[in-house]
Amino acid sequence: MLKSESGQPEKLAAAYGFLKANQIFTLEELERQTDELSAAVNNLVAQSKASTARIRQLDDMITFTDHIHRIPPSIDEMNAIHWKGRREKFLAAHQQEIDLYYTSQRIGKKRTLLLVFQPVFALFAFS
């Protein structure tokens, strides 16, 4: 007969019920079941990491696209200034915004190409 060392027979009964319901009668069967569950959990963790990375990629693309669509009036205004002194003053006043625009545009183009061609690269991946 099994004894409950912790003084909680409900927990012992629940554990016994779980083992009986899953037809686990030996330590080897319990280890096999644990290994199977561990492999399934590891697979889910890997899928979750891949999904999280993809979500971050798409979130970055949305942010870059927002910068590219929000800032062009400043870029157009800067391009309309032909005098060197006025252009430098405008650049000094809007430098951070303009740098953000060009950085977003540059990185956005690279990542867009990767997003577009990633499925194509997967077709030609050699294992």
Per domain, the residue ranges of the chain are 9-123
> In this predicted model, which residue has the larger pLDDT, 82 or 118?
82
Cα–Cα distances (Å) from 43 to 30, 55, 57, in that order, read 20, 18, 21
DSSP character at residue 7: S
Encode pLDDT of 12-40 as tens digits: 888 888 888 888 888 898 899 899 999 99
Question: What residue type is 17 in one-letter code?
Answer: G
Q: What pLDDT is attached to residue 112? A: 64
Cβ proximity of 114 and 88 under 8 Å: no
Mean residue pLDDT of the chain comes to: 79
Write down the pTM of the prediction: 0.48
Please give the residue that has the higher pLDDT: either 98 or 116. 98
